[in-house]
Structure 1
Amino acid sequence: MSLIENFTKPYGLVDKIDAFGYLDSLKNNPDAPRKHGKVVLVTADTPLKASRGEGKTTTTIALIDALNARGIDAAAVLRQPSMGITAAGSKGGASGGGKASLTHPELIDWGLCGEMGAIEAAQNLLASFAEKAVDDGLLDTVIVPRVSEVPSRSLRSVVVDAGKNDVHEKTVLTPTCELMQIVVLSRSMDEIAERVAKMIAGTKDGKAVTFGEFIDLWRITNILADAVKPAKTETKNGSPVYVHGGPFANVSIGIPSLVSVEMACALHDVVIVEAGYGADAGAQKWLDIACREYGAQWPSAAVVVTRASTWRDDPALQWRYPFHVERLEGLGIPTFPLINLWDGEDDQVPALRQTAADLGFRAPIVGNLYRDGGDALVPQLDAFTEAVSAEDAPETPASHKGMPLVENVKWVCEHAYGVPSDRVVMKPGFEESLEAARALAEDAGVAFDDLALVAVKSPATMTDNDAAPADERTVTLKKVDVHSGAGLVHVNLTTSLTTPMPKIV
């Protein structure tokens, strides 16, 4: 029996793996068999519409099928989607499509791997404890939101009758909540407990009160016992796929759990990691949060997916795809443009290749992956596999801990969105929000400028107006929220909702 089998148990039609236990066993047994797989990041062009996927998951599945067909031991790590949005049809599915699909897409799309439901229950229990703390005089206000997998406009902001004083509360989607972030970023149950203890429940006399001050944390960690375990499934062609962590890289971190990626790297030679939305969202957060601040592996290569129509249909937005590719290349990451064709677009391939050549891209990878799956990619991966197998990988850039928050935001705006610091503007009220967030963090015993930055933004825009001329684009800073337990600070930029409504299809 291999070591990983000791930590694997059936969970319905998939397996669940105790990644914490497996990685701890490897640490304590350095001679145990393991691999040192390389990470490849799959990201995308900024979509024309928030509800429209570019095909990252379909590409990820086709890519590992193609690599395995070439004799390379490859696996993928996907995020567990939000049932209320993805499965309800508001954007592309989370389990691929056509020949590039998982064996049990319904389990992934509808949250039946369990972590969404468990995290929802645990965060809502925390909110209930906070409400009881108001009754007991321990809190005046409740800051921690309730969560739901099914969005409701009526729950975005509510007022609870709490006797003498009404209490304002809100509800967000499960993937966006702080407890999801804690699960994604933690490497042990002890770390989860420590982070939950640092979560801010609310305030008393204007001062932050953390959950560690008034509840027993085992109540929360027990609920999460299975939620912290990645699910293992496979593609229709038998390639291994691990699913763990939440989506929504525009309003949260939108990356798979760090332990699911580390576990996969110990088991396989190449690990394809899918990050949410475009390169300005999920890729930015994998690089600047997971890698810079939490020690995840810097990618050996990247694939930037786009539809032909996203890249070329709107002349005012055509700058975005080259910007993403060039930015990743500028970080020392070999970056491969991948054009995900739809039916009827095969005749566009020569023109697409010429455009890529004119832009100075690496030779693009092109195919209708829904129709042809990994077969379309097998003959196109010579340069890709050569780049991934290169010995010299760039070092992870230095942490931004200690960098003042506004300076950090301006750095992200310049490097990830192409907007220089002098065109980053502050909405009236932003500075007051910043100081209030700083005070909350200090009350919670957290160094405010050590928190990792989460840019909260629209998934379909990088700036206030992407169609504006380059020298007129701006980014507006709107408000600041502290997630002290997760070690994150959210800064709202372009308009976006943490409880978006599903599209009727």
Structure 2
Amino acid sequence: MSDIEIARAATLNHIKDVAAKIDIPSDAILEFGPYKGKVSYDYLKSIEGRKDGKLVLVTAITPTPAGEGKTTTTVGLGDGLNRIGKKTAICLREPSVGPCFGVKGGAAGGGYAQVVPMEDINLHFTGDFHAITSAHNLLSALIDNHIHWGNELNFDLRRIAWRRVMDMNDRALRSITVGQGGPGNGFVREDGFDITVASEVMAIFCLARDLQDLEDKLGKIVVGYTREKQPITAKQLKAHGPMSVLLRDALMPNIVQTLEHNPAFIHGGPFANIAHGCNSVMATKSALKLGDYVVTEAGFGADLGAEKFFDIKCRKAGLKPNAAVVVATIRALKMHGGVAKDNLGEENVEAVRKGCANLGRHVRNVKMFGVPAVVGINRFSKDTDAEMEAVKEYCRELGVEAIVCSHWADGSAGTEELAHKVVELVEAGVDQYAPLYSDDVPLWDKMRTIAMQLYGADDIIADKKVRERFRELQEQGYGHFPICVAKTQYSFSTDPNLKGAPTGHVVPIREVRVSAGAEFLVVICGEIMTMPGLPRVPSANSIHLDENGWIEGLF
């Protein structure tokens, strides 16, 4: 059966029964129908004093069109840990609608390792993204309204830093002009759109500890500058209060279930290639108070999502990860070894060995943060024993174990061995998590450290204007901020066609944006766009309702 057929054939438990598995009382669940809910603020506050469980990160090799299955493995591992008697919760990001109708399709796991109800999760879910989009664009409206009514804060119209957002891929909105049509429509100026998942409001939403922290962070957003280059904040516009009102209910973590009826928190959704790629701090910290183990994922590979998890989320939230799983597939390793997609079904041990260089760098990247790792081989039906043995042999030389997983086909039974290994790593107590760089390292050097140590680059380069921007931000008091790199997810370099584990390249920096509320700098590298476009044949072309009203083509 297909993913959607498996999901639709499943019998779901009431969300209050699912929540009860981690001892959440029924009156703490705000229901969105029988299978979705939010956990109330009052209950979350009541558990703040509890001891934390153990935190496990799932990351992956560099993504390819062959697929890696990081979310599927996260769900499968969570179910596997529950299967061996560890009270476990899963923490995932909410999917963005843009990729669902673009190139990626659904993002709720697959096979017998899914979170459900998958159509709801992939579409409007509980409305969190709509709230974030509305809060962001309220701030946009308040900026132009302020300028229209006299510009008391002295905005320099050439230096407005706040762009609009929408949760859809639309390249035509990357650069626009607003205010046309006469004086009644405001002042004409250049503007543009990013996708909602790249919004600083999304980042703040996912890093906020509570509602007060949310409002404080929103108030610190730098929306523009005066002619004297003095920053103007959302607080000066009195925007942080109404923005918090729009986000009040959304900030409560969402809870759903896996196909095996285990609890899964799905909350927040920044991309990892253009944002920080982690689910909300609220969800993760709450889950840690409720379970023995928490399994979370960070977007794309250990050069992007995992690095930002360690260097931004863990640093800001005071989290201490205990172990990590690096997901790989034989198919993807063969692509990194030079095999074309059409030939992936043929055994090619030599290509697997060559592609393992990519896996090796991701494993070393994780270990660089002091976190012990295990490799999970997400098995496909055409993988051969010789190909899997090649990966195991390579991993033994790296000093890590590689474990074959069959969770897509077998659910938790397919990750039982991996679950035992994760527990072994955690209980060994050898984790020594530390960020890659300290707060007091200069901003330019932080970026250079990431590029050289994690990407295998020789150096970073930028034109005079960008270098001057680094210097200005350092002098303006942002020097302690971590770096959030925006670059292609398809390579360690900024060239998406450069597979494997390239070395000797340089990382070109195109732009630097300050996210003063989220407290990090977004460093945009290469040709990456913060508003994606649709492919030549978007997934939307195949999505429709059948004669019974069922959604077809989304998965």
TM-score calculated relative to the size of structure 2: 0.82
Partner of 2:530: 498
Unaligned runs of 5+ in 2: 1-19, 339-354, 540-555
Q: Deviation at 1:297?
A: 1.9
* Counterpart Cα distance in 2 of 1:118 and 1:182: 13
What aligned pairs does 1:388-467 form with structure 2 within 5 A after superposition? Answer: 388-397=426-435, 400-420=438-458, 423-427=459-463, 429-435=465-471, 437=473, 442=476, 447-465=477-495, 466=498
Q: Deviation at 1:240?
A: 0.9
* Counterpart Cα distance in 2 of 1:488 and 1:159: 28
Counterpart amino acid of 1:242? F
What aligned pairs does 1:287-436 form with structure 2 within 5 A after superposition? Answer: 287-292=310-315, 294-315=316-337, 318-348=356-386, 350-357=388-395, 359-397=397-435, 400-420=438-458, 423-427=459-463, 429-435=465-471
Counterpart amino acid of 2:193? T
Q: Deviation at 1:264?
A: 0.3
Q: Name which of structure 1's ranges 204-213 and 389-398 shifts more when overlaid on structure 2.
A: 389-398
Partner of 1:41: 57
* Counterpart Cα distance in 2 of 1:190 and 1:399: 29
Q: Deviation at 1:452?
A: 2.0
Partner of 1:248: 271
RMSD between aligned alpha carbons? 2.4
1:429 and 1:478 in contact (8 A); partners too: no
Q: Deviation at 1:467?
A: 5.0
1:157 and 1:170 in contact (8 A); partners too: yes
Partner of 1:283: 306
* Counterpart Cα distance in 2 of 1:425 and 1:468: 22
Secondary structure of 1:133's match?
helix
Q: Deviation at 1:437?
A: 5.0
Q: Deviation at 1:4?
A: 5.3
Q: Deviation at 1:471?
A: 4.9
Counterpart amino acid of 1:38? K
Secondary structure of 1:359's match?
helix
Counterpart amino acid of 1:204? T
Q: Deviation at 1:372?
A: 2.1
Secondary structure of 2:278's match?
coil
Partner of 1:117: 130
Secondary structure of 2:56's match?
strand
Partner of 1:91: 104
What aligned pairs does 1:258-273 form with structure 2 within 5 A after superposition? Answer: 258-273=281-296
Count of equivalent residues: 487
Secondary structure of 2:277's match?
coil
Q: Deviation at 1:353?
A: 4.3
Between the two proteins, what is the percent identity of the paired residues?
29
Q: Deviation at 1:107?
A: 1.4
2:58 and 2:325 in contact (8 A); partners too: yes
Going from structure 1 to structure 2, the CA distance change for 1:392 and 1:47 (only over 3 Å counts) comes to closer
2:442 and 2:474 in contact (8 A); partners too: no
Partner of 1:75: 89
* Counterpart Cα distance in 2 of 1:307 and 1:375: 19
Q: Deviation at 1:14?
A: 0.4
1:147 and 1:174 in contact (8 A); partners too: yes
* Counterpart Cα distance in 1 of 2:105 and 2:321: 25
* Counterpart Cα distance in 2 of 1:469 and 1:46: 9
Q: Deviation at 1:9?
A: 1.2
1:114 and 1:226 in contact (8 A); partners too: no
Q: Deviation at 1:399?
A: 6.5
Is it true that 1:154 corresponds to 2:166 in the alignment?
Answer: no
1:334 and 1:387 in contact (8 A); partners too: yes
2:323 and 2:431 in contact (8 A); partners too: no
Secondary structure of 1:429's match?
helix
Unaligned runs of 5+ in 1: none
Counterpart amino acid of 1:430? V
TM-score calculated relative to the size of structure 1: 0.90
